Each structure stands twice: as C-alpha cells, then as structure tokens.
Amino acid sequence: MPEIKVTPLGAGQDVGRSCILVSIAGKNVMLDCGMHMGYNDDRRFPDFSYITQNGRLTDFLDCVIISHFHLDHCGALPYFSEMVGYDGPIYMTHPTKAICPILLEDYRKITVDKKGETNFFTSQMIKDCMKKVVAVHLHQTVQVDEELEIKAYYAGHVLGAAMFQIKVGCESVVYTGDYNMTPDRHLGAAWIDKCRPDLLITESTYATTIRDSKRCRERDFLKKVHETVERGGKVLIPVFALGRAQELCILLETFWERMNLKAPIYFSTGLTEKANHYYKLFITWTNQKIRKTFVQRNMFEFKHIKAFDRAFADNPGPMVVFATPGMLHAGQSLQIFRKWAGNEKNMVIMPGYCVQGTVGHKILSGQRKLEMEGRQILEVKMQVEYMSFSAHADAKGIMQLIRQAEPRNVLLVHGEAKKMEFLKQKIEQEFHVSCFMPANGETTTILTNPCIPVDISLGLLKRETAIGPLPDAKKPKLMHGTLLMKDNSFRQVSPEQALKELGLAEHQLRFTCRVHIQDPRKEHETGLRVYNHLKGILKDYSVQHLPDGSITVESILIQATAHSEDQGTKVLLVSWTYQDEELGSYLTSLLKKGLPQST
C-alpha cells in the first residue's frame, strides 16, 4: 500500500519553527524552514540532522517550499541552505521572495550586531540563499521534476502568503501555512478549490477560538483614534513593520479620507517604508477593494500618512504615529511613548500581543508608574487601549477550509496540543475523516489508495463502449483488454495488439463437454429438438442448424451423436472457445437440465 509520511521538525504541537517533512510517492519535500522566537540556543532552528547526519541535504530533499515571509516560517532558511548545505530548489511566491531577505537581514542584524552572537549566517549567505529561490505565481502549476508538481493558492494572512498543493501522480498533500479565512482591509480571504487531497496539513493557532466580527474591532479602533484626535490628543500605535501595520495604515487612511480629517498621520521610517514599497508593487495580492481602485489610486500610496521625523514628536496639535517596535521595549516607539505618556489627552493603542517584561505588557496590565532606566519614574497618564488584530483562521475558518478542500485526512500543526485535541475531535466528528497531530520528530504514516492511470487506445475504447448499454461516466465500466506494463507505463490494448507487440503467437483454448440425453429418436431428430429448444430460449443469439446436423450458437458448436453402447442415450458434444466461456457454460448447464418433453 502506498503511503505518505509526515514528520514535523518544528511546529508539531507547537507554534514557531515551522518545518515539516513530507515524503510522498518517493519524493521528499520540506515545508517551511522557520526559527523559534522563544529560544536563543540550538533549539531555535529545526534539527536538520534528522534528515541526514552527514552529507548534503540536497540528496535527500527534492524541494523546499516556503509559505510566507514570517520568520517562524523562513527564519532558518540561510542556515539550512548555506551552513547545513542544500542546493536544490526553494519555492516561494514573488512577494515572499521580495520581502523575505529584508526580514532575514533585520533578524541577522539584531542577533549578530545587537546580541553579539557569532556563528550565525552572514548577509552574503542570505544573498546566496535567495539565489536558489524559484518564485511561483498563484495557481501556477510548477513541475519540480517529472513527477512532482506544486501549486500555490491564496492564503490571506500576510502579503504573499500561500497554501501549497504538492502532487505526485494521483497522490497529493495540501499545506496551508498560515492563513486567514476572513478578509481584512488589505488582504482577501484564503481560497482553495475542491482539490480533494489525500492529506491536508493545516495550521491550528486558533483551534479553540471563534472570533467576533472584525467590523466591531475596526469601528472601536477608529472611534478611539478619532475621539482622541478631535480632543487634540496624540495617538501612538506601536506596530511591527509588516502585516498589521499596513492593515492599520489602510484603515486609518481610508477613514481620514472618508471623514475629511486633517490631523497628520506618521509612520516611522526604515523597514516599514521599504515594506510599503513592496505592498505597492504587489497589488494583485491584495483584496478586492484595493485591486479595483488602484487604477485611480494605489491605496498604498498614502495621501495622509507621511514619514516620521524625530522632531515631529514635539509638534503641538493632534497627530497619529505608527512606530516600531510593537511591544514598546526599545527604539522609536518607546522614545515617543516617554514623551507623550504624561498627557492624559494622549493615547497609546497596542494592536497586538505583548511579551511579558516589556513596557507594552506592563501598561496593558494596568501599571501606571513605570521605572525606566536611570531610576526614573515615568507616570503614565495617557490612555492605554488594546485592540487585537490577528490574521489567522479561527476554528470556524479552519473547518470552512476543510469543507472547501474535502481532504481524505487532516493533520494539524502550528498550535498548542491541548487546543489541537479539541479541533481534532471536532474534525473527526463532523467530516468523518481521520485527523492527526504529531509532535516534533514524530512520524505519521497515512495510507493512500491512489488510482493508477492507464492509457487506452482509442480504437479499443470505441469498440468497448459500443458494446452493452450506453456509457455512463459516473459509473465505473468494465472493459476487456490486455494490460501491458512496458517502459514504466501502463497501457490497455486489445489482445491482438498485445500479442503483436510482445511477439507471441496466439493459442486457441477450447473447452468441450459431453452432455448425455435420454432420447430414443434418431440423431438428426435429436439435433432438431435441441435446435428448437435453444432457439426458443436464446432469442437474442443467432442459433443455426447446419446441414451436417450440428448446431451453432454464435460460435459454439453442438453436435449430437448416438451413444456407442446405448442407442437410447444421445451424447451432445458442446465445444466453445475460451472467449465464449460464459455462454458456453450457460449452454451446458441448460442442456444438462434436459430437453422439454415434446408434444
């Protein structure tokens, strides 16, 4: 039985360090190659020695697929390809390919320059690694080699995020990466066709959550910003450079446009600006509204949002500032925060999750007096708001995707074990498909039942379909022919052709059978009786009485002779070829029952 083997090296019952090995029909594919945010030691990268202890990985992997540019999905890529050694193709979408190196470089800078780590990949390695990348378009089928093909589907989540279908022959696996089933302000919803894969590997970050409509969140956010600005206050929004920042920018930009507001909006320079540039380029990857209106105006060419300068923070009057980093632990956002914290008219909005120990976490948990470096006490008078904008599918979204794709098996990754347990149970219950959730390093084997395509010659097909009732493609149909396995391919041909091709002579196989009948009459009279009898029963067949006294039914020959010893017993000799086995055996059984008493 053919099987698909899946082994997560990372993201098995865990979030971070996504890296999943799939072997399908003799092909080995690695899905994502990420780092773990929680560790600073060896555990931050997947354990590639699992694949091979020594030697290059190229011999063991057919290709690597990166779903999107988040570091927990691509962070280990230069390490993997340059330091461990992999020269095969790496597939990612165009936006991912564009943005990925920026983030990797940023990551490298923080680790090497700030933390002073050695033995880390260099800028040159990032560049070399990116040279191995093959960019793919949405819905483009890429042939990795003769048998292995991959295809990308839109996944929402971040710009360029994709789900990948990996297909070898009739077996296929779909890997979702991270995806979002509800559209947001700049990206659309994930979509997949009814591809019915053997296995669907899906993320399950929000396996136990059903979220409220995003409209309420957006409205709250806008209302808060608007009110503060109207009061003359300043709004600080600490963000990470990519993803949510763009969504919030669009949200505010359109709101400003709609409401005709004049207060300036700034975002901090650097990474965000570069990223915005790519957002501008990859308009086709965004949502309907942006795609439709970009002819008039590219939504990412912000009219109201300008680049931030350090000096602006002291300007009087209302303003909104997006600043990095998102957790208020260092950098520009913290500087601005310290300047504005004292005024109760101002407001800070935290759009995402904050790690414990950061300033962001402290103020969110209600701390009003912060101790800064230099034993300074900073009193926070400004308002602190929390808004969650997350771009993962919730439990309903995951179920919806499973319903769309109709997989035969589901495998959960990228989530916590306890939450997966719940979702697993739900999936099995609702869809009646088996569901797996392997831990890191644990191999799951899935048996598949692939169909094997066989070529058939047109002549044979036409001949076979002409026999019997009309073809009904919904039902399987039995066909007679010879299956020829030659040169690694299957063909169904007519027996004659098979003989010819194989250079074999045809053998005739004939069955003969004697049936004894009690009949005192003459031989030819018995023959006549048998003829009449058969004629009466087999109306659809051509039954003939030949001049020499024998009877043919189609190609079956029946002869009546008198028994050498007992003249009252007649022996009926029935002879048929192998091909007519069915009819022949039917006839004998019929004759064995005896002839009807003639009147």
Measured CA to CA in angstroms, residue 463 lies from 306, 459, 480, 506 at distances of 73, 6, 10, 21
Measured CA to CA in angstroms, residue 27 lies from 139, 152, 331 at distances of 21, 18, 46
Q: d(Cα 50, Cα 73) in Å, to the nearest integer?
A: 18
Pairing of strands 133-136, 90-93: parallel
159-186 burial, b if ≥16 CB within 10 A, otherwise e?
Answer: bbbbbbbbbbbebbbbbbbbbbbbbbbb
Segment 572-576 long-range contacts (CB within 8 Å, at least 24 positions apart): 572/514, 572/515, 572/516, 572/517, 572/526, 572/530, 573/512, 573/513, 573/514, 574/512, 574/513, 574/514, 574/515, 575/510, 575/511, 575/512, 575/513, 576/510, 576/511
Pairing of strands 369-372, 434-436: unpaired
- For the bound state, the minimum distance from the C-beta of residue 349 to other proteins, rounded and expressed in Å, comes to 11
For other proteins, the closer CB: 215 or 375: 215
For other proteins, the closer CB: 63 or 237: 237
For other proteins, the closer CB: 122 or 388: 388
For other proteins, the closer CB: 66 or 399: 399
- For the bound state, the minimum distance from the C-beta of residue 205 to other proteins, rounded and expressed in Å, comes to 12
Tell me the backbone φ, ψ of residue 508, rounded to 5 degrees. -95, 135
- For the bound state, the minimum distance from the C-beta of residue 102 to other proteins, rounded and expressed in Å, comes to 28
Q: d(Cα 423, Cα 301) in Å, to the nearest integer?
A: 41
Q: d(Cα 157, Cα 69) in Å, to the nearest integer?
A: 11
- For the bound state, the minimum distance from the C-beta of residue 98 to other proteins, rounded and expressed in Å, comes to 24
| Tokens, residue 203 | 């993320």
SS3 state at 321? strand
Q: Which residues bind other proteins (CB under 8 A)?
A: 182-183, 185, 188-189, 191-194, 208-220, 222-224, 226, 254, 257-260, 287-289, 364-366, 383-386, 395-396, 399-400, 403-404, 419, 422, 425-426, 430, 470, 472-474
> Is the CB of residue 407 less than 8 Å from the CB of residue 436?
no
Q: d(Cα 355, Cα 362) in Å, to the nearest integer?
A: 9
Q: d(Cα 599, Cα 593) in Å, to the nearest integer?
A: 18
- For the bound state, the minimum distance from the C-beta of residue 213 to other proteins, rounded and expressed in Å, comes to 6
> Is the CB of residue 334 less than 8 Å from the CB of residue 372?
no
Q: d(Cα 65, Cα 529) in Å, to the nearest integer?
A: 78
- For the bound state, the minimum distance from the C-beta of residue 212 to other proteins, rounded and expressed in Å, comes to 5
Task: Please report which helix (H) or strand (E) contains residue 142, including its range.
Answer: strand 141-143
Q: Which of 203, 247, 385, 464 is catalytic?
A: 203
For other proteins, the closer CB: 466 or 485: 466
For other proteins, the closer CB: 319 or 384: 384
What's the chain's length in residues? 599
Write the CB contacts of 264 (distance below 8 Å, at least 6 apart in sequence). Answer: 304, 306, 312, 319, 320
Write the CB contacts of 154 (distance below 8 Å, at least 6 apart in sequence). Answer: 138, 162, 163, 188, 190, 191, 285
Our answer to whether residue 171 is catalytic in this structure is: no
Task: Please list the active-site residues.
Answer: 203
